[in-house]
C-alpha cells in the first residue's frame, strides 16, 4: 500500500518510542518485517537551533528504510524548517506528533496540546506539507480529556491540507499510556477517511494486531510497547495475517539479536551512552527468560562493552542449561 508517494510492504509499523526508537532498534524491527519504522520524536526547535543532541538523533541506517521521522513542536515556521532538514537527512516520511501527553511537551503547546487547537493544526500541517516533497503524516489521540473525540475534525483538516496518513491512538491524553482504548473511534475515522488510517494502542501480540485491523478496518497497525525486546513481533504479525504459523525465535536467536543490538548501539553512540541505552532494552529482551530479575540487576552494574558481551555469553549458557533441564524433565 501507499502512504502518499511512499510504498510500504506489510501492515504493521513500529510506533515512535522516545528513548528507544533509534536507528539500531528501528533496523531490527525493519529486518523482522516492519512495514515502516517511526523514529523517536525529535524537537523541531532542537533542529532549528542545531542542538547537538537533537542532531545526533537524526542518524539513519541505510538498511532501515522506509523510515518516518517524527517531530514535535507548536511553531509552524520551525516545523516547516525541521521538515526540510529531516528530508535532507534521508527520512522517507515526516510525522507530526499530536499525541504526547508528557507535561513538558504539553506545556510548550506541542504534542497532545495541539488536539485542543485545531486552527494551529491547520497552520502546522499546511506549513509542513508545503516545506517538503516527502509524505507528511500525523499521529493523534482521540482527544485530550475523557469526553473528547476530535478525530473527525482533525481528519478533515489533515485531508484538506494534503496529509498522507493519520495514526490514531484510541485513548485520550489524560488517560496517558494506560486506560481503555476506543477501537470504534478508529473504525469511524476509517469509514470516512480518504487517506490511510493507522490504528494504534494496546497491541500485545500478533493476534491482537489481527483483531485490531479487522475491527477497525484500518490500513495499518502501529505497535509500540509490544515491540520492545521483541522486534520479531512484526514477522509474527505478517505471519498471522497470511495465515502462516507463528515462529518464536529460539534462545540462540534472541541472544544473537541482543548482541547485535548492543554492538550497533555502541557503534552509534559510543560505549558509555551505548551501554546506558542498552540497559533499558535488555530489561525487555530478558522478559520471560529464566533468572531474568538477577540478570537485569547485573546489566545495571555493567560499565564496559566487553563486560556486557561476557555477561550475555554467561546468561546464554544459563538459559541453555535451563532448557536442557526442562528437556530432560519431559523425557
What backbone phi and psi angles, to 5 degrees, belong to 117? -140, 75
Nearest to 29 by CA among 212, 238, 213: 238
Closer CB to ligand FMN, residue 40 or residue 263? Answer: 40
Which range binds ligand FMN by CB under 6 A, 13-21, 23-31, 43-51, 73-81?
Answer: 13-21
Contacts (CB under 6 A) with ligand FMN, residues 20-39: 20
Q: Spell out the residues 6+ positions from residue 179 whose beta carbon is closer than 8 angstroms to its own.
A: 171, 172
Shortest distance, position 179 Cβ to ligand FMN, whole Å = 11
Cα Rg of the chain (Å, integer): 20
> Rule CB under 6 A: is residue 11 a binding residue for ligand FMN?
no
With a CB cutoff of 8 Å and minimum separation 6, the contacts of 142 are 148, 149, 150, 151, 168, 169, 170, 171, 172, 182, 185
Residue from 226, 262, 282, 312 touching ligand FMN (CB under 6 A): that is 226
**Site membership for ligand FMN, residue 70 (CB under 6 A):** yes
Give the integer Cα–Cα distance in Å for 230 and 13.
14
Q: Which is nearer to ligand FMN, 17 or 165 (CB)?
A: 17
DSSP code per residue over 119-149:
HHHHHHHHHHHHH-SS-EEEEEEEESSTT--
With b meaning 16 or more CB within 10 Å and e meaning fewer, what string describes 14-23? bbbbbebbbb
Residue 199 has phi, psi (to 5 degrees) of -90, 130
Size of the site for ligand FMN (CB under 6 A): 23
Of the pair 195, 221, the CB lying nearest ligand FMN is at 221
Site for ligand FMN in 172-211 (CB under 6 A): 177, 200-203
User: Which of the ranges 11-19, 22-30, 146-154, 212-220 carries the binding residues for ligand FMN, by CB under 6 A?
Assistant: 11-19
Contact code string over 92-131 relative to ligand FMN, x by CB under 6 A: -----x-xx-------------------------------
From the list 35, 38, 56, the residue with the least C-alpha distance to 47 is 56
φ and ψ at residue 284, rounded to 5 degrees: -75, -40
41 binds ligand FMN (CB under 6 A): yes
Of residues 124 and 319, the one with the C-beta less far from ligand FMN = 124
Grid look-up 523514529 returns 39
Q: Output 143 or 224, the one with its CB closest to ligand FMN.
A: 224
Nearer to ligand FMN, 199 or 275 (CB): 199
Contact between 246 and ligand FMN per CB under 6 A: no
Query: Any contact of residue 283 with ligand FMN (CB under 6 A)?
Result: no
Instruction: Tell me the three state secondary structure of residue 196.
Output: coil
The DSSP symbol for 268 reads: H
Contact 36, 66 (CB under 8 A): yes
When binding is defined by CB under 6 A, the residue of 26, 30, 75, 139 that contacts ligand FMN is: 139
Shortest spacing between CB 325 and ligand FMN, in angstroms:
34
Q: Which residues are catalytic?
A: 100
Kindly list the residues in this chain that would bind ligand FMN in the complex (CB under 6 A).
Answer: 15-20, 40-41, 70, 97, 99-100, 139, 169, 177, 200-203, 223-226
Amino acid at each position: 500500500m501507499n502512504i502518499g508517494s511512499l510504498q510500504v510492504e506489510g501492515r504493521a509499523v513500529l510506533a515512535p518510542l522516545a528513548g528507544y526508537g533509534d536507528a539500531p532498534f528501528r533496523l531490527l524491527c525493519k529486518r523482522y518485517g516492519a512495514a515502516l519504522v517511526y523514529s523517536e520524536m525529535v524537537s523541531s526547535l532542537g533542529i532549528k537551533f542545531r542542538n547537538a543532541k537533537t542532531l545526533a538523533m537524526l542518524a539513519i541506517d541505510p538498511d532501515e528504510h522506509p523510515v518516518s521521522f517524527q517531530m514535535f513542536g507548536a511553531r509552524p515556521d520551525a516545523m516547516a524548517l525541521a521538515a526540510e532538514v529531516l528530508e535532507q537527512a534521508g527520512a522517507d516520511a515526516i510525522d507530526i506528533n499530536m499525541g504526547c501527553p508528557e507535561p513538558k511537551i504539553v506545556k510548550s503547546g506541542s504534542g497532545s496540546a495541539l488536539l485542543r487547537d485545531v486552527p494551529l493544526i491547520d497552520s502546522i500541517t499546511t506549513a509542513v506539507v508545503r516545506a517538503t516533497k516527502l509524505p507528511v503524516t500525523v499521529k493523534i489521540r482521540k482527544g485530550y480529556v475523557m469526553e473528547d473525540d476530535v478525530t473527525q475534525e482533525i481528519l478533515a483538516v489533515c485531508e484538506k491540507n494534503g496529509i498522507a496518513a493519520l495514526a490514531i491512538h484510541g485513548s485520550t491524553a489524560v488517560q496517558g499510556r494506560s486506560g481503555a482504548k476506543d477501537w470504534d473511534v478508529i473504525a469511524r475515522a476509517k469509514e470516512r477517511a480518504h487517506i490511510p488510517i493507522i490504528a494504534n494502542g494496546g497491541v500485545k501480540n500478533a493476534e491482537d494486531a489481527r483483531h485490531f485491523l479487522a475491527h477497525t478496518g484500518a490500513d495499518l497497525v502501529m505497535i509500540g510497547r509490544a515491540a520492545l525486546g521483541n522486534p520479531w513481533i512484526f514477522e509474527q504479525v505478517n505471519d498471522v495475517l497470511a495465515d502462516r504459523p507463528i515462529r518464536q525465535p529460539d534462545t540462540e536467536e534472541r541472544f544473537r539479536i541482543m548482541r547485535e543490538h548492543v554492538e550497533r548501539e555502541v557503534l552509534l553512540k559510543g560505549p558509555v551512552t551505548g551501554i546506558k541505552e542498552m540497559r533499558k532494552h535488555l530489561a525487555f529482551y530478558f522478559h520471560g527468560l529464566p533468572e531474568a530479575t538477577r540478570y537485569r540487576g547485573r546489566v545495571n552494574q555493567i560499565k564496559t562493552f566487553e563486560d556486557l558481551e561476557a555477561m550475555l555469553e554467561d546468561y546464554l549458557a544459563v538459559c541453555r542449561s535451563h532448557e536442557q533441564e526442562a528437556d530432560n524433565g519431559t523425557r
